Amino acid sequence: MKEESYEPDNRHMRFLTVDEESGWISRTTDIRSNTYRQSAIDVLAEIRRRLADDFGATLVIANAPQRGIFVPFLDEVEKEDARAIYREMLGQLNSAGIITPDADEILTSDIAQGDSFYFPRDTHWTPEGAGVVARSLAKALQNAGKIDVSDDEPRYIFGDFELETFKGTFNNSIEEICGIEPPEHEMMVPNVVPVAHSTEELADQLFGDPALGDSKKIVLLGTSFGNSSGGDRFRWAAQLEHALQNKVENLSLTGGLTVTAFEAYAYRDLAPGSADIVIWEFPAVYVSNWIEYDFRQILGAIAGECSAETESHALSFEAGSDAEIRFEKPLPLQETVSLDFTDFEIGSMQLLLQDENGKKYTQRIRRRDRFPGNARTTIWRTSTHGLSGELIGIRIENLDSDLEGELKICD
């Protein structure tokens, strides 16, 4: 159908393709990826270094492979191009010293089983796909000497399997376009249970006891792949517990809020000794050059308060479609710019910068209203690590009420 034939409220449907033969639905974003710019890799490397040096935690990035490489009717050349880009991206992450298992390789080694790794009418992987990636992640951590996984005396085993129904995120689109209600997807999913011989041992397994010796404090920060409707529907966290033989604290957020999950954790819970391993999951399809500003916010949250404040500026913005402050004198870019605003919910913020040649550019900061209530913090903090030039101002778009705050320049 031509784009003009869609009703205004349904034009998003033009990005979907329904395959009559296989029953799979694909969207244009199912097979899309980019390699990182070097500046983004530098920020990721600094995040890894900060976690290790300041908090004693190892960073692991787990990219859920692109769903498009499993869609049966999509072009095979495009699939191989996407895999090649993904391999290049892995090389970039590995060069930055970040442990990153090759989930593409492990899932596509038996491509005939692809329909069991992803749902045909849902954007997420299946529990089976999550389990394969969990095992590859455990192997990568074991090879790096970060964890010892032994099968001799398992702490976590698969208990009873249960029948789970998944409606599928694309089913509403089918109902809207075709006027039919497709059946839900049904599959048997595993329940992972701790092995315990006493009430005390069960408590140790569930809540973590340093007396267990080689147990680790492991945190999972991710998307709806690990947290769907407030639970672990796709058993990603549970599969990790089984593969790692270790308790995993699941702090994932739905709605593609993987960066928000990391920020909230850094502000609220991160402290020396609070985690041995931080697993950061986000789908490979998220990778794009524009994600660098998200990385900078995570780095700002990890860096924390100014250890040596060099300058402080009170800021006041008036409500309007474009609220902007220009500094009379440009401010030098140091390690961290700390922006502290109370109850800032609506608006898209940008740092206004000027490079050494006098060229002006912006550094975006995400909208604050994407933070869910249980992860919200009043602090906005970003890092200017690796940026050159000067800070000449701050702009907030779509600000619906007056706002006051503080900017700090730190060593």
pLDDT in tens, 31-47: 877 888 888 899 999 99
| Residue with the larger pLDDT of the pair 252 and 347 | 252
State the residue for tokens 């030098």: 332
Residue 312 C-beta-side C-alpha neighbours within 13 Å: 8
Q: What pLDDT was estimated at residue 116?
A: 82
pLDDT digits (tens, 9 = 90+) for 170-217: 887 778 777 778 888 888 888 999 887 555 555 555 555 544 446 899
Nearest to 306 by CA among 269, 270, 336: 336
Q: What pLDDT was estimated at residue 346?
A: 59
Phi/psi of residue 84, nearest 5 degrees: -65, -40
Instruction: Show Cβ contacts of residue 88 under 8 Å, excluding neighbours closer than 6 positions.
Output: 35
pTM over 0.85: yes
Indicate whether 249 pLDDT > 90: yes
Q: State the Cα–Cα distance between residues 17 and 28, nearest whole angstrom.
A: 8
Instruction: Show Cβ contacts of residue 232 under 8 Å, excluding neighbours closer than 6 positions.
Output: 226, 238, 250
- Beta strands 277-281 and 58-62 are parallel
pLDDT digits (tens, 9 = 90+) for 131-148: 989 999 999 999 999 999
Q: State the Cα–Cα distance between residues 298 and 385, nearest whole angstrom.
A: 12
| Residue with the larger pLDDT of the pair 303 and 376 | 303
- The model's confidence at residue 15, banded by pLDDT at 50, 70 and 90, is confident
Beta pairing partners, 396: 323, 349
Q: State the Cα–Cα distance between residues 410 and 334, nearest whole angstrom.
A: 6
Q: What pLDDT was estimated at residue 210?
A: 44
Q: What pLDDT was estimated at residue 282?
A: 86
Q: State the Cα–Cα distance between residues 26 and 67, nearest whole angstrom.
A: 9
Element (H, E) at 278: strand 277-281
pLDDT digits (tens, 9 = 90+) for 78-92: 999 988 988 999 999
CB count in 10 Å sphere of residue 316 = 10
Nearest to 393 by CA among 355, 353, 358: 353
Q: Which two tokens stand for residue 309?
A: 């404040």
Give the lowest-confidence range in 111-125, 153-167, 213-227: 111-125
| Distances, alpha carbon 67 to alpha carbons 35, 36, 407, in Å | 17, 20, 42
Mean pLDDT (the chain, rounded)? 82
Indicate whether 62 pLDDT > 50: yes
Give the lowest-confidence range in 160-169, 210-219, 382-391: 210-219
CB count in 10 Å sphere of residue 325 = 16
